[in-house]
Chains A and B, each alone.
Chain A
Amino acid sequence: MNMNDAVFIILGFITLLGAVGVVSFTNIVHAALSLVMSFLGVAGLYFQLQAEFLGLVQIMVYAGAISVLIIFAIMLVMDRDPDQTNVSHKVNRWWGGLIALLFAAFIGFAIRESHFTGQAASTGADRLGQIAELVLGNYVIAFEVAAILLLVAVVGAIILAKGAKEQ
């Protein structure tokens, strides 16, 4: 067991723990914080997978902006005792649990039985440069569309949150 593996295990643990926390805590604020922890774990995993730029973006966007957004929203819609805000449906949780379990089992089984070829070595090339080339090269349209999407989302969110008033 080398360093790589140990780091993976720790990071994986953090991620999963955070995820479980999201669905377990009955206090939604605790759940949100647990979500942040999960994001950070995933960011770490990105670093380990030699996607440094992506890891940074993850931290900035997810753990930074999105989490804050979520917490703001939670605060705005808190209408009851905080400890009661994130309860699970009494009947559905068994069905949900079953479905999740089956899903994990089947996919996990499939992954186990698959033979993946081409476990190539990492090239250590300039990742960021490559991303840049792709973004402004072959996938420039995706890039532009994503930008427009963000614009639309911002405008839409503002309108929705403001409420439609009589003009």
Chain B
Amino acid sequence: MFAWSLELAWLIVLLPFAAFALIGLFLHRWPRLSASLSILAIGLSFILSVLIAAHVFLGGMQEPFELSIRWLAMPGLNVDMGLLIDGITGVMLIVVTLVALLVQVYSLGYMHGDPGFSSYYAYQSVFAGSMLGLVLANNFGQIFVFWELVGLASYLLIGFWFGRDSAKNAAVKAFVTNRVGDFGFLLAILFLQIIFGTLNFNGLAAEIAGYTNTAILIGISILLLAGPIGKSAQFPLHVWLPDAMEGPTPVSALIHAATMVAAGVYLIARAYFIFSTTPEAMMVIAVVGGFTALFAATIALVQNDIKRILAYSTLSQLGYMVMAMGIGAMTAGMFHLMTHAFFKALLFLAAGSVIHAMANEQDIWKMGRLKDKMPVTTWTFVIGALALAGIPPLSGFWSKDEILLGAFASGHMGLYLLGTLVAFLTAFYMFRLIFVAFFGSNKGGEHAHESPLVMTVPLVILAVLAVVAGFVGSPLMDYAFAHYVTYPGAVHHDPNIMVMVISALVAITGIILAWAIYQKELISHLALREKFQGIYTLLYNKYYIDEIYHWLGQRFIDGTARVLFWFDIYVVNGLVNGIAALTGGAGKVLRYTETGQVQTYAGYMLVGVIVIVGLVLIAGFAMLI
């Protein structure tokens, strides 16, 4: 249909980067111009993405479209830069460009008056460009480059208010934690290059199909997994995501809910041809994802900061996605990625609206009665929460149900039960938030007012998407999503009514329980807290993981520093001083040869002559030649 748009796909990446360059170099002094340029760039990228997606999904594209140019050619190493456009790409393009566009528009209102307005839009552009480059990449090398760039953009945006120590530390923590994961990722890439000689996805898929050494494949899979564990904040590298809430709320919406953290899930999807050959690695993925989902959900139960609750919710949902990837339900995982992007971005942006109205107050217990003062925000937030909890017929229900169905039907009963439990907890803590902050009886929300249009319109758009986006993957549209986003060997499970009913019921139960405790106060939450004091403290302090890491780091870094210090003082210094001492000592001894008397020197010369003559006599005349 719009086949010509495929040829222009590279513009999608280039436009935001160009915006970044222009803003960064020239337009710094004109904030509104900078913002306009950035929004224009992402808007154009969005339009192009829509055209491409139309061609991919409706234009009957037979095969994935690939375009690549040779970037680096050395003997034994060829690195390409290229584009790969297939169903997965189409989905990601729409998600990323749409959410980025809405967030940038929203930021016009949220960041209004901030002294770093231009820089903010520059960073937003660089993030958008990097994320799109990652999504369009056709080989691991390019993905890695953009992966790192995305991490950089995240660092810049988390630490945007760099005057705050907490923000600075959070930015560094994010980057460093990511780096740890990237180390494994890079090793995996190196192994792939060495063993298979290519990093191109299609090329590798062909090679791996016939490769038999499973031990190596498992090793590569596990190493490759380290990247998503870092980027998508799975346990144990999840520690950066809650702290990343120090950044402006639109940033949290875009990066830490919808797109960047989804990059890890996207990578797993792209690299599925490797993972699907190693069932052991898949099991690891599933367990890591499932554990993270439960782990984060429990912590979210007792948090008081609205953004923290949403952050742990993101962690939990990412766990769902990763778990889906691990049990072979790649389609379900990508589907949930899409729906989650919409409703989580919605939730964050609405939370931002609240924070903005409450003069940067983020504690839910200090909010209340917001539904009267901020109706649009309130009801869009509720829609988002319903979607997240998985209430039919909203989008979250369909995607979460696909995952649970996949777990149930493929026999992973433990994971299925875990997923169901997490669904219950998710509904509970989200509505705890809603009842306390929006419907509560606190007087905190007295002075709030609704946000300007530029902030509420994106909320409405996202709310609509949160409602309808799920239909593309549901039985109602004959699983259209699965038709385009799939992999060889995918198993399609027939819809199971029992699973659907159970997941819906569980969610509704969670909501009712939250209503009972927090709205009607049938059970006092304070009494509950008293009764389960130990567990409460443990959860509130995030299982003390941060403190453990800190302690480990101290031991490690202190110990290493001490060893290296010793080394420096004694070995390196010793070596240098030793050479000096040697020279001095030699000098002290040798100076006695300088007697100042000519006869001594003549004697030395003659000794030399005698030595040469002696050597010649011993070794023959040939020695002199």
Q: A residues within 8 Å of B by Cβ?
A: 89, 92, 95-96, 99, 102-103, 106-107, 109-110
Contact = CB atoms under 8 A, between A and B. Distances in A.
B603 interface: yes
| Nearest 5 interchain pairs by C-beta | A106-B613, A102-B610, A99-B606, A103-B610, A106-B614
B579 to A, nearest CB: 33
B603 A95 contact: yes
A89 B598 CA distance: 13
B589 interface: no
15 contacts: A89-B599, A92-B599, A92-B603, A96-B603, A99-B603, A99-B606, A99-B610, A102-B614, A103-B610, A106-B610, A106-B613, A106-B614, A107-B613, A109-B617, A110-B613
A32 B448 CA distance: 125
Q: Is the interface of A mostly helix, strand, loop or mixed?
A: helix
B3 interface: no
A151 to B, nearest CB: 27
Contacts of A106: 610, 613-614, 617
B306 to A, nearest CB: 97
B617 A99 contact: no
Contacts of A92: 599-600, 603
Nearest to B616: A110
Given A89-B599, A106-B610, 10 more contacts: A92-B600, A99-B606, A99-B607, A99-B610, A103-B606, A103-B610, A103-B613, A106-B617, A107-B613, A110-B613
A156 to B, nearest CB: 20
Interface string B598-625: 0110010011011001100100000000
Contacts of B610: 99, 102-103, 106
Contacts of B600: 92
Interface of B: 599-600, 603, 606-607, 609-610, 613-614, 617
Nearest to B610: A102
A103 B599 contact: no
Nearest to A107: B613
Contacts of B599: 89, 92
B617 A110 contact: yes
A96 to B, nearest CB: 7
Contacts of A99: 603, 606-607, 610
A110 B606 CA distance: 17
Contacts of B609: 103
Nearest to A95: B603
Contacts of B613: 103, 106-107, 110
B81 to A, nearest CB: 75
Nearest to A113: B617
Contacts of A96: 603
Contacts of B614: 102, 106
A89 B599 CA distance: 10
A106 B617 CA distance: 8
Looking at B603, B606, B610, B617, the one whose CB has the most chain A CB atoms below 10 A away is B610
Contacts of A107: 613
A106 B615 CA distance: 10
Nearest to A99: B606
Nearest to B600: A92
A122 to B, nearest CB: 30
Nearest to A109: B617
Nearest to A106: B613
A95 B603 CA distance: 8
A26 to B, nearest CB: 18
Contacts of B617: 106, 109-110
A110 to B, nearest CB: 6
B611 to A, nearest CB: 10
Contacts of A89: 599
Contacts of B606: 99, 103
B573 to A, nearest CB: 42
A92 B600 CA distance: 9
A104 to B, nearest CB: 10
A96 B600 CA distance: 10
Contacts of A103: 606, 609-610, 613
